[in-house]
Chains A and B, each alone.
Chain A
Amino acid sequence: MAEVEETLKRIEAHKGVIGTIVVNAEGIPIRTNLDNSTAVQYAGLLRHLTMLARSTVRDIDPQNDLIVLRIRTKKYEIMVAPENGFLLIVIQNPCE
């Protein structure tokens, strides 16, 4: 329990990280440092996209699997990592 807290705190402390969200299998944000509505929006939208990306990767090569999905936008970068039904979403503003 404490390790999880520590890990997440460490992530949030990195340079440029704007927000972190941990989502469970049902799409509910368990832990986030953003406001609830934003977190719910991110969770809902990114879940579908991650599942789609994952199935694409596995369709091409069934032995393969998705590790991280990175979406680089004009304003920041969104990184999504799926594991075991859970999702960790991090929004970072890369340094220029």
Chain B
Amino acid sequence: MEIVHVYTKLRAEFGRQCLFSDRPAELLVDVLPDPSLGLQFIHKTPRDQALQACRDMSEHQVNTERFESDSCGINHVEGGWPKDVNPQEMEQTIRFRKKVEKDESYINSTLQLGSVMEHCIRQNNAVDIYQEYFEDEEEVEESQEPPFAKTINVFRDPNEVKRTVTCLSWHPDSGRKLAAAYSCLEFQKTSKDMSLDSYIWDVENPNRPEMTLKPTSPLVCLEYNPKDSHTLVGGSYNGQIAYWDTRRGSQPVELSSVEQSHRDPVYKIIWLQSKTGTDAFSASTDGQVLWWDVRKLSEPTERLVLDPGREGNLDRALGAISLEFESTMPTKFMVGTEQGVVVSCNRKAKTPAEKIVCTYDGHHGPVYALQRNPFFPKNFLTVGDWTARIWSEDIKESSIMWTKYQMSYLTDACWSPVRPSVFFTVKMDGVLDIWDILFKQNDPTLSLKVCDEALYSLRVQDNGRLVACGSQQGGATLLEICSGLSTLQKNEKSLLAAMFERETKREKILEARQREIRLKERSRSEQSREEEGGREEGEESPDQLIARAENNFFSVVETELRRRREKEDEENRVMSLILYTQQSLTFCSLTFTSENTKVLLLQ
């Protein structure tokens, strides 16, 4: 059958026939040039205009939407057998196989294939075509490519209300798992819907956390036990310490009692080296450092109050915000405080007064991070306010090296575990800086903007290549550092040792000089005191001080009042002048200068 389209229209509907006619050209619009408009333009000669005859290209980046993938296994059953043969039955399969072997095409094909294959096998046995020729030679030094770091994964907080990642801890064995503590550190900004959970992430799967930890109060810090990779200890916002075993579920196995714990958020908790492997100590801004045995969290085993007066007075204690412990020196530890002071303590001292050995005062703000160099334990790194400082234990007056003041607040730092001269810092503008002090001291070797919000925590994995940093909106970013920054260079240790020596010596010399100057001043002031005889210099009695202060105050008040009276008189004079000149028309600008050089403009 033929399908035909038919268009029909009635003749009557066509309308009037069009009649075309000729018409001469008509001028509709004539716009003449207006030379006055040319004055608005500047004549520019000569003109340089580049032209290129090539194809227009444009570059465009597209980011696909995050899609969640899930790995799962499928069970395959042996197939391909014809319907009448049951693959489980040995007899049937053997019978089937025998049948095929009798087939003509099978025999021919196999003979053919046999000869081909033999040829290949003989080839393989004759010459090894993949032989390494220059295996013994040393690998040529790689060309100095610029350092780079690549983001591998971002682990986002799955809850609606985003919390800050306040602490990160790598799994001690493999570095395949990352524990992140989430809490909101801004005072009274926690909303009612904020979840209390913290998560353990598997590095390969950023879509869903591998395990959830459910504390009673948000966790501020979290640490894996380096001896037992299944246990974690965490310090929470309300001061309690909680102990988890990942084999026993999400609830803490034990929780310290509220009365015996800290009274402020626990900012740092570190596992100690002990025979039982169950000791930890924690620090908080309430001024206490507490030692715990995780088997019995009902009360701490030891308590230290960070009172600089060495009296154990809690009111005058410094709030602790970071802790440092090196397993090679088990009796010493250091505490970084809110007041910008680093306190070095000895755990084995006999009396609490002797526990605090010395203080290092260097920062204007809280010391957020504190870590000894893993290769040179005498030197440690502190971070606080806008600088990062490197100290030597012997020099207590000031740090031996420091970075210049950065544009934003530094929140965390750590040394690289493989390269002694490399350390990492994170800042509140979302930038991760990698410093290599053997290469460049003034600026970071590599500066990466990780995210738009502030970064609050940082942790390097033990192999030195992976770095995790946590942001304010709950995103933990995992980065991989290039091999140049994570492999030990030749002579690095000796060069760095020399550098630290040099800086320490410089500081010592400066300190000695300062002391000399101070001694001279003191001796000079003592001399002048003897010359002047009985005049009491400096040490006035309190009454005299009060009298002097009162006199000063009253004289200042007097002068101020006098000045005001004078100003009022002038203004009165000006007012009368205005009334006098009100007769004059429109703009009347009057300038009147007085002894006090005041200018009044009246319009």
- Is B111 part of the binding interface, using a Cβ–Cβ cutoff of 8 Å? yes
In-complex Cβ contact of B80 among A10, A11, A26 (8 A): A26
- Is B118 part of the binding interface, using a Cβ–Cβ cutoff of 8 Å? yes
Contact check, B109 vs A86: say whether CB atoms are below 8 A apart.
yes
Contact check, A17 vs B121: say whether CB atoms are below 8 A apart.
yes
The count of chain B contact residues (Cβ–Cβ below 8 Å) is 33
**Contacts A/B (CB < 8 Å), 22 sampled:** A1-B101, A4-B110, A7-B111, A8-B114, A10-B118, A14-B122, A14-B125, A16-B124, A24-B106, A28-B80, A28-B100, A30-B100, A30-B106, A68-B120, A81-B113, A83-B112, A84-B105, A84-B108, A90-B120, A94-B124, A94-B125, A94-B128
Which chain B residues border A86 with CB–CB below 8 Å?
Answer: 105-106, 109-110, 113
Contact check, B78 vs A40: say whether CB atoms are below 8 A apart.
yes
Contact check, B116 vs A67: say whether CB atoms are below 8 A apart.
yes
Contact check, B116 vs A68: say whether CB atoms are below 8 A apart.
yes
Residues 105 to 141 of chain B near chain A (Cβ within 8 Å): 105-118, 120-122, 124-125, 128, 130-131
- Is B81 part of the binding interface, using a Cβ–Cβ cutoff of 8 Å? yes
B354 to chain A, nearest CB (A): 61
Contact check, A7 vs B114: say whether CB atoms are below 8 A apart.
yes
Tell me the complex Cα distance, A68–B121, Å: 11
- Is A77 part of the binding interface, using a Cβ–Cβ cutoff of 8 Å? yes
Tell me the complex Cα distance, A26–B101, Å: 14
Query: Hey, which bits of chain A sit against chain B, CB under 8 A?
Result: 1, 3-4, 7-8, 10-11, 14-17, 22, 24, 26-28, 30-31, 40, 44, 67-68, 70, 72, 77, 79, 81, 83-86, 88, 90, 92, 94-96
- Is B11 part of the binding interface, using a Cβ–Cβ cutoff of 8 Å? no
- Is B16 part of the binding interface, using a Cβ–Cβ cutoff of 8 Å? no
A90 to chain B, nearest CB (A): 5
The 8 A CB mask of B559-592 against A (1 = contact, 0 = none) is 0000000000000000000000000000000000
Which chain B residues border A67 with CB–CB below 8 Å?
Answer: 116
- Is B97 part of the binding interface, using a Cβ–Cβ cutoff of 8 Å? yes
Tell me the complex Cα distance, A26–B109, Å: 15
In-complex Cβ contact of B111 among A4, A16, A28 (8 A): A4
Which chain A residues border B79 with CB–CB below 8 Å?
Answer: 27
Which chain A residues border B81 with CB–CB below 8 Å?
Answer: 26, 28
Tell me the complex Cα distance, A57–B111, Å: 24
Which chain A residues border B5 with CB–CB below 8 Å?
Answer: none
Which chain A residues border B125 with CB–CB below 8 Å?
Answer: 14-16, 94-95
Contact check, B114 vs A30: say whether CB atoms are below 8 A apart.
no
Q: Tell whether A77 pairs with B124 under 8 Å between CB atoms, given A28-B80, A30-B100.
A: yes
- Is B295 part of the binding interface, using a Cβ–Cβ cutoff of 8 Å? no
Contact check, B106 vs A72: say whether CB atoms are below 8 A apart.
no
Tell me the complex Cα distance, A88–B112, Å: 10
Which chain B residues border A17 with CB–CB below 8 Å?
Answer: 121
Tell me the complex Cα distance, A53–B350, Å: 78
Interface of B is mostly: helix
- Is B102 part of the binding interface, using a Cβ–Cβ cutoff of 8 Å? yes
Residues 72 to 117 of chain B near chain A (Cβ within 8 Å): 76, 78-82, 96-97, 100-102, 105-117
Contact check, A68 vs B107: say whether CB atoms are below 8 A apart.
no
Contact check, A8 vs B110: say whether CB atoms are below 8 A apart.
yes
Q: Tell whether A88 pairs with B110 under 8 Å between CB atoms, given A27-B80, A28-B80.
A: yes
Tell me the complex Cα distance, A22–B96, Å: 14
Contact check, A88 vs B122: say whether CB atoms are below 8 A apart.
no
B550 to chain A, nearest CB (A): 92
Which chain A residues border B107 with CB–CB below 8 Å?
Answer: 1, 3-4
In-complex Cβ contact of B118 among A11, A40, A70, A72 (8 A): A11
In-complex Cβ contact of B110 among A7, A15, A72, A77 (8 A): A7
Q: Tell whether A90 pairs with B100 under 8 Å between CB atoms, given A1-B107, A7-B111, A28-B80.
A: no
Contact check, A88 vs B111: say whether CB atoms are below 8 A apart.
no
Tell me the complex Cα distance, A7–B113, Å: 10
A47 to chain B, nearest CB (A): 9
Contact check, A4 vs B124: say whether CB atoms are below 8 A apart.
no
Tell me the complex Cα distance, A11–B112, Å: 13
Q: Name the CB-closest residue of B to A90.
A: B117
Which chain B residues border A72 with CB–CB below 8 Å?
Answer: 130
Of listed A15, A44, A86, residue having the most chain B CB within 10 A:
A86
Which chain B residues border A31 with CB–CB below 8 Å?
Answer: 97, 101
Q: Name the CB-closest residue of B to A32.
A: B97
Q: Name the CB-closest residue of B to A15.
A: B125
Which chain B residues border A8 with CB–CB below 8 Å?
Answer: 110, 114
Q: Tell whether A68 pairs with B101 under 8 Å between CB atoms, given A15-B125, A28-B80, A28-B81.
A: no
Which chain B residues border A84 with CB–CB below 8 Å?
Answer: 105, 108-109
Which chain B residues border A27 with CB–CB below 8 Å?
Answer: 79-80
Of listed B101, B121, B128, residue having the most chain A CB within 10 A:
B121
Q: Name the CB-closest residue of B to A7.
A: B114
Tell me the complex Cα distance, A94–B433, Å: 49
User: Can you name 11 extra interface pairs (CB under 8 A) apart from A16-B125, A95-B125?
Assistant: A3-B107, A26-B80, A26-B81, A67-B116, A68-B120, A81-B113, A81-B116, A81-B120, A84-B108, A86-B105, A90-B120
Tell me the complex Cα distance, A24–B98, Å: 13
Q: Name the CB-closest residue of B to A6.
A: B114
Tell me the complex Cα distance, A28–B99, Å: 13
Contact check, A95 vs B128: say whether CB atoms are below 8 A apart.
yes
A63 to chain B, nearest CB (A): 19
Tell me the complex Cα distance, A70–B124, Å: 11
Tell me the complex Cα distance, A14–B119, Å: 11
Which chain B residues border A95 with CB–CB below 8 Å?
Answer: 124-125, 128
Contact check, B113 vs A83: say whether CB atoms are below 8 A apart.
yes
Contact check, B97 vs A70: say whether CB atoms are below 8 A apart.
no
Q: Name the CB-closest residue of A to B112.
A: A83
Which chain A residues border B109 with CB–CB below 8 Å?
Answer: 83-86
A57 to chain B, nearest CB (A): 15
Tell me the complex Cα distance, A1–B79, Å: 26
Which chain B residues border A11 with CB–CB below 8 Å?
Answer: 114, 117-118, 121
Tell me the complex Cα distance, A30–B101, Å: 8
Tell me the complex Cα distance, A77–B112, Å: 21
Which 4 pairs show the lowest CB-CB distances between chains A and B? A7-B114, A88-B113, A26-B80, A27-B80
A66 to chain B, nearest CB (A): 11
Tell me the complex Cα distance, A31–B101, Å: 9
Contact check, A68 vs B117: say whether CB atoms are below 8 A apart.
yes
